[in-house]
Structure 1
Amino acid sequence: MIELSGLTKQYGQVRAVDDLTFNVEPGVVTGFLGPNGAGKSTTMRMILGLDKPTSGTATINGEAYRKMRNPMNKVGALLDAKATHPNRSARAHLQWMAQASGIDKHRVDEVLALVGLTDVANKKAGGFSLGMGQRLGLAGAMLGDPEILLLDEPVNGLDPEGIRWVRSLLKSLADEGRTILVSSHLLSEMALTADHLVVIGRGKLVADTSVHEFIKQHSTVTTVVRTDHFEEFKSALTAEGISFNQALDADGRPTLEIPERPSDEIGALAYSTGVMLSELAERQASLEEAFLQTTEDDVQYHGTGHQKGAAE
C-alpha cells in the first residue's frame, strides 16, 4: 500500500502539491489523473524519494522509500522512459540495473521477453522509437518483480496493440494483489484500465473514488426515447414540466433526449399516458466529460480558441 498524509511541496511562491492525503490500495489499478501542471509527477517523485516534501509524508507499506533495503525488489517505477544511456543496448541497460540492485542476471531476459524486446535486446537504446523506449522502461520497472508499481504515462508512444498489452499486464498484476499507481492523459484508456481514480488539480485532491462513482457523481444522465407517438409523448413531457431536446439517431430517426432524468421515471410516464416506446435508454457521460467538468477550474493554461481574422 502507498500512503500519503498531508503531502506538500513548495517551490518558492508556487505550491506544486498541496496537502495531499490518499491511499493506493493493493489488488486494484489506481489511475492518477489531473490537468497538466496539477502536480502528478511531483507527487510520484516524492513517493520515490526523488524530491523531498516541504511537509507531510509518503510511505510504502509504512516505510519511506529512501529507507528501504533493495528497493527495486519492492517498488518498480517508470517516470521517464528516456532515462537510458543511448549507447547501451537494452540488455546492457537492464544488466547494469540488475547488478546495481543485486538482482539475478537471468531476470533480464525474462523481462525482455515480457515486454516484447527480445529480438532487439542487443540494439542501442538511443535508436529506439518512443514506444520501444516505453517498453524498455517497463522492463526496468518489472526487473525486481516488485509488489508495487508507479508508472507515469506508460502507454505514451505505444501503438494500439501495445496499449492493449499494457492494459492487460496492469490488470493481471493487480489480480495478483500488487499495488499499482498509473498516471495517464489518455482518459478513454484509463476508463478501460483503472478500477479506482485519484484526481488532483493545482496540487489539491479533487476526487478519490471508483471510476463508476466518479462518472456518476460528476456527470449527468440523459435518457433517450424513440416512439411512433412522437407528438403525443412530447405533450406528456411538456405537461409534466420536463424539458427535452429533439434529435436524430444514427439512422436518421427522430428521438427525444431528456437530460437529468433517469429512464425509470420517463418509462413510468410513458406507461401512465399509454404511449408505447420503441426505445428507452440512458446515456452516461464518458470519463473524459466527467474529468473535464470536475477539473475545469484547475487547468493551468487555457487556450482562447481560433478567432476569425486573427493573424496565423
Structure 2
Amino acid sequence: MTKNPTTLYKQPPFEVQQQGFPGKTRPMVPKPDHGEESYKGSKRLQGKAALITGGDSGIGRAVAIAYAREGADVAIAYLESEEVDAREVEALITEAGVRALLIPTDISKAAEARSTIARVVEKFAKLDILVNNAAFQVPTPSLEDTSDEDWERMFATNVHGTFYVTKAAVGVMSPGGSIINTASVNTKHPTAGLFGYSATKGALGNMTVAFAQLLADRGIRVNAVLPGPIWTPFIVAGMEPDAIKSFGSKTPYGRPGQPVEVAPPYVMLASDEASYMSGALVTVAGGMPIF
C-alpha cells in the first residue's frame, strides 16, 4: 500500500526538551524510529563487514540495523558514556543473525581511531564498509560566545576523527570497499547559528570528493549522505530548546525525517550495485532544495 510520506510521522510542534551531549534515545518524545520494527532487509550486503562510528543512536543506529538485516557483520564505535544505547544496538544486530562488535572509543584521538580499525579486522578479518558518522555539535550564535573548546571539539570529532579513521581503514580495505561520510545539508547551506558545525560539514563534503579521486585507483569508493533535519538525540543535545519545538517545520514535508528514512541511501552506497558511484553527495531532506 502506498503511503503519503508527509504524514508518515509526527509533525511539529514537539515538546521542549534538552539533554547533555551526545544525548540518549530513551528520553526523547516522540521516540525516534530507527527501523527496529519496520526495516526489512534483502541480503544486499551479505558477507560484508562494516564499521559505523557513532553507531549507538540516531542515524548510526538506523544504519547499523539496516546493515545487519542486509546480511553484514557490524561493528559500532561510540563514546563510553553511551554504553546503554550501544548494548541495545548490539542486541538488534545479533537478532538479525550476524556478528556484532562494540568498540567504546574516542575517534577524535588518532591512536584510538587506529585501534578501532585494528579491532574490526581482528574480529571480522576484513573491513568492507566504513561509515564515518560520529559528530559533535553545539549552537554557535555569535563569534564572541563560541568557546575555543567547542570550536576545537567540533573539528576534532567531525573532521580530524573522520580523517584518522579513514586513513587507517584504507590500509586494510580491498578493492570494492565503500566509505560513506555523514555530512549535512549544512555542507552546502551553512546556517549562522550553527556556523561551526556547518564549517566542519563543508570540510567533509570537500574531503569526500577529494578522497573519491585519491582512492579510485585502489577501487575504493567514497560518498557522502547529506541529511536534512532528522529526529535524533543529536538534536535535543545540540540545539536550543525553542528550535527543538519547531524542528523540521520549514521543510516542504513540514516535519523532520526519522533515522530509518535516512538508512536506505547508506545501504545503496555500500552495495555492489553502486559500483559506479563515487564522489557523490546524496541529499535526504524532505524536499529541501539543496544545490
Length-normalised TM-score, structure 1: 0.30
Point out which structure has higher relative CO (alpha carbons under 8 A, 6+ apart): 2
Q: Which structure shows the bigger proportion of residues in helix conformation?
A: 2
Bigger radius of gyration:
1
Q: Which structure shows the bigger proportion of residues in strand conformation?
A: 1
